[in-house]
Amino acid sequence: MRIELREVGHVYASGTALEVVALRGVSLSVEGGEVLAIVGGTGSGKSTLVQHLNLLLEPTSGKVLVDGVDARSLDRGDLRRSVGLVFQAPEAALFAPTVWEDVAFAPRRMGLSEGGVRERVGGVLGRLGIGHLAQRAPHSLSGGEKRRAAIAGVLAMGPDVLVLDEPTAGLDPATREELLGVIRALRDEGGTVVLVSHDLDEVAEVADRVCLLENGAVTSLGKPEEVFYAVSASPMAPATVRTAALLRDDHSGVGRPVSFGETLAALKTVLGA
């Protein structure tokens, strides 16, 4: 599935004293099989943007195309199953007595047979490494376990595109790394992920492309090294890029590393290790 935003604008409370322009002529695409990261400061429009991908919010101007078709002409239920959106702190929406029943809710609503539901739920729980939690009550889980259970509930719908809005917020480093591993695995399996994050260091580890938003507009879009080295002296670059950028003038062999592993290898080259 390919999703394209063409000159999308969004205004909250248009024509009132509370009017806020949240998006300004945003044009970008989400390509199949990639991790696209949406980054920017607080209030830059990140969450507003991703809610347009399955028309939870409709554009005030411009249009959203899904495989070349205007999204407004598509069935909303089908669209939202195809583009699964996981909001910030999704664990607040866990409601069933067990993790299994919570994850099974959407497949049952989709009309799958009980055999199909068992296969779908078991597969998703296994992918996320929480099969052993199937009969646990959601309220008894740790924060990271709840987060993965909530993501499992969306994955159980079989979306073509998974949208994650700040999925690691509030989690400890070990649990954050586990979730980043899930994102990598989904991409390696051919899945498409849109990742909204304020944590540029985690974006550096998983993103194939990066979209930088400022004041509701796209200011940079491209491969991580293209976007981050263009702003390497600013807070809108991960620590790895800021470190490498300090060395590039004196050490041409540093290149443009982005991930921690790439940066460590570049530093070893500089030090002759």
What's the structural domain count of the chain?
2
Q: Is the pLDDT of residue 271 over 80?
A: no
User: Is there a single domain that holds both residue 230 and residue 99?
Assistant: no
User: Is there a single domain that holds both residue 218 and residue 228?
Assistant: no
Q: Is the pLDDT of residue 270 over 90?
A: no
The C-alpha atoms of residue 34 and residue 9 are separated, in whole angstroms, by 24
Query: At 66, phi and psi to the nearest 5?
Result: -115, 115
* Whole-number pLDDT of residue 266: 86
User: Is there a single domain that holds both residue 193 and residue 140?
Assistant: yes
Burial class (CB in 10 A: 0-12, 13-18, 19+), 55: middle
Q: In this predicted structure, which of 21-35, 160-174, 211-225, 246-260 has the lowest mean pLDDT? A: 246-260
User: Is there a single domain that holds both residue 215 and residue 230?
Assistant: no
pLDDT in tens, 206-220: 999 999 999 999 999
User: Is 22 part of a structural domain of the chain?
Assistant: no
User: Is there a single domain that holds both residue 273 and residue 188?
Assistant: no
User: Is 62 part of a structural domain of the chain?
Assistant: no
Q: Is the pLDDT of residue 272 over 80?
A: no
Total Cβ atoms within 10 A of residue 224: 25
User: Is there a single domain that holds both residue 202 and residue 236?
Assistant: no
Full DSSP string of 71-128: GGGS-HHHHHHHEEEE-SSGGGG--SSSHHHHHHHHHHHTT--HHHHHHHHHHHHHHT
User: Is there a single domain that holds both residue 185 and residue 126?
Assistant: yes
Query: For 225-243, what is the mean pLDDT?
Result: 93
Q: Is the pLDDT of residue 273 over 80?
A: no
* Whole-number pLDDT of residue 158: 93
In the β-sheet with 20-30, what is the strand arrangement from edge to edge? 20-30, 3-12, 61-66, 69-70
Query: Domain span at residue 171?
Result: 32-51+75-222
pTM exceeds cut of 0.85:
yes
User: Is there a single domain that holds both residue 82 and residue 157?
Assistant: yes
